[in-house]
Structure 1
Amino acid sequence: MNITSWLKNRGIEIHNEPLIMQAFMHSSYVNEHRSKNDNERLEFMGDAVLQLWISDKIFRIEPPLDEGHMTTLRAQLVCEKALSIYAKELKLNDFLLLGSGEEKSGGRQRDSIVSDMFEAFLGALFMDGGMDPIDNILNEVITSRLQDPNQVIVMDYKTKLQEFVQSDTRKTVTYEVIKMTGPSNNPRFEIQVKLDDIVLGKGIGNSKKKAEQMAAKDAFEKMVK
C-alpha cells in the first residue's frame, strides 16, 4: 500500500501527491538521490498546525482546565516521543524514505526522525486540504487520550523540571548545546540545562529535543532525591 491508498482508506482525497510524498523524504534520502526537497520545511508548518489543533481541543475540555494544566497537557501530547507513538500506531513510518545508511542504522524506528516526519505529514496535509484531513488523522490517535486530562501520556521531563523550579522561584531554566558530534544525517547532541549560571543536568541524544529531555530528566531526578 502507498500513502495515497492509505489516505483514501480514511476518506482523504489529495490534490498534490508530490507534496504528500515530500513529507516522507528524510534529508539522508535527498542527499543520496539528489532530490530537491526534504521534509524540513513541511515539518515547520506541521508543528504550527499541530499546536493549533491540540490547543483548540484542550481549551474545549469540560470542566475547563487552568492555564498551567493546559500547558502541561499540550507539552505531553506534542513531545517527540508522543508524536513518534502516534506515527507508529498509524504505521506511517512504513512510508519513510531514508538513505541506505540511515535505514541500516535503524532510522525507521528512531523517535526523532519519525516525529519530524509526522509533523511534516501534517504540514503537507494542511497545505493540500486544510484542517479537515488534520481532524481525520489526529482524531484517530489523540482524541481518546484527551478523555482523562490527568493521565500521564508520556513523561515530559522538561515540563516537570520547569514546574519543580517554579514551585520555589519564578525563574526559567535554559538549555544550551555544549557539544555536537557525528555526521549531519546522524548527529549527537550534548546539552546542559541551567538555572542562572548553575548547571542542573546534562543529556545526550540524536536530536536537540531528545538531548534536552535527557538533560531535564538528569536534573529533575537529582533535584527530587
Structure 2
Amino acid sequence: MSHAEARRKERLLEVRRFVEENELPIKNYGLLNIALTHTSYANEHKNEVIHDNERLEFLGDAVLDLVVGEYLFLRFPTWPEGELTRAKASAVCKPACAECAAKFQVGRYMLLGRGEEMSGGRTRVSILGDAFEAVIGAIYLDNNYEVAARFILGHLKKYLDLIDEGNYDHDYKSDLQELVQKHGDVSIRYEVTHDEGPDHDKTIWMHILINGKDFGSGIGKNKKEAAQRAAKEAIKRIQSGERV
C-alpha cells in the first residue's frame, strides 16, 4: 500500500469517527470527506486528485435556504415577503452556520492548507459556516430532502426559536421609518442617555425621540442593538394608539 493510499484510508477512518461521534445521517464517508476539505488544502496537493468543498457548499446553501424558507412560510402564514426574508437571513447567516458547525466539532476534522491552519482557520466563521453548508449538501445527496431538513431544523433550533420569540436580527429602525412616513415629515432622533461598563463589555441606554417626543428606550451591548430595541418599543407604542 502506497503512502497516499494509507493516508486516504486513515482519513476515512477519521471521517467515520466524526460521523459516529455526532450521529450524522450519512454513510458516504468519501462524500463527507469532500465536505470537510477546504480549498486551501486542495491547492496545496495539486499533484493528487483532491476535491474541495466549494461545490457541496453551493448545493448545501441552496438546500438550507429552501428548508428554512419552507419552515418560515408554513410557520408564519400571515407574514409578508419582507418579514420572511429578514427572518430567514437571521437563521441562515454565516455566524449561525458557523456556530452550528462548531457544536459538532467540524473545525477539528477539517482538512486545511498550512496557511489557513496557522492563521486559525479551524475556528474562522467563514470556513466553519461554509463547511456546515457543505455537510448539508453531502447529507442531502446521500439521503433525501426530508433527512436533510430534519438535520437543518434540528441544528438551527436556537435561531428558529429566536424568530418565534421575535428576538432576531429584525430591522426595526427601517420599519419605524416606514410607519411614521404615513404622518408626513417626521423627525426621528436616537440619543444615548448613558452607558455602563468597560469598553469591551459596555451596556448602552438609548432613547428615541419622534418630533421631539419621547417614544421609549432600548438597552443593548452597542449603539446599534440599543437603537433597534428603542425603535421596536416606539413601534409598539404607535401601534397601540400613541400619536406621533
Asked if Structure 1 and Structure 2 have the same fold, meaning a TM-score greater than 0.5 normalized by the shorter chain, the answer is yes
Out of 82, 88, 106, the residue aligned to residue 102 of structure 2 is 88
- Distance in 2 between the 1:144 and 1:114 partners? 18
Q: Given the two structures, how large is their TM-score scaled by the length of structure 1?
A: 0.63
Deviation at 1:122, TM superposition (A): 0.8
Letter paired with 1:142: L
- Identify the residue that residue 65 of structure 1 maps to in structure 2: 79
Deviation at 1:130, TM superposition (A): 1.4
Structure 2 residue 70 is the aligned partner of structure 1 residue 20: no
Letter paired with 2:155: V
- Identify the residue that residue 92 of structure 2 maps to in structure 1: 78
1:5-44 superposed matches below 5 A: 5-8=17-20, 10=23, 12-14=25-27, 16-34=28-46, 35-44=49-58
| Identity across matched positions, percent | 34
Deviation at 1:80, TM superposition (A): 1.2
Do 1:126 and 1:133's aligned partners in 2 also have CA atoms closer than 8 Å? yes
Deviation at 1:162, TM superposition (A): 10
1:179-194 superposed matches below 5 A: none
Higher relative contact order (CA 8 A, sep 6+): 1
- The structure whose residues are more often helix, as a share, is 2
The structure with the larger Rg is: 2
Do 2:15 and 2:29's aligned partners in 1 also have CA atoms closer than 8 Å? no
Letter paired with 2:34: Q
Which consecutive unaligned segments of at least 5 residues does structure 1 have?
A: 169-216
Out of 152, 168, 173, the residue aligned to residue 138 of structure 1 is 152
Q: Given the two structures, how large is their TM-score scaled by the length of structure 2?
A: 0.59
Out of 112, 115, 119, the residue aligned to residue 133 of structure 2 is 119
Letter paired with 2:42: V
Which consecutive unaligned segments of at least 5 residues does structure 2 have?
A: 1-12, 182-223, 232-244
Count residues with an aligned counterpart: 167
Out of 36, 41, 50, the residue aligned to residue 64 of structure 2 is 50
Which has the larger displacement, 39-48 or 57-66?
57-66
Out of 104, 112, 122, the residue aligned to residue 108 of structure 1 is 122
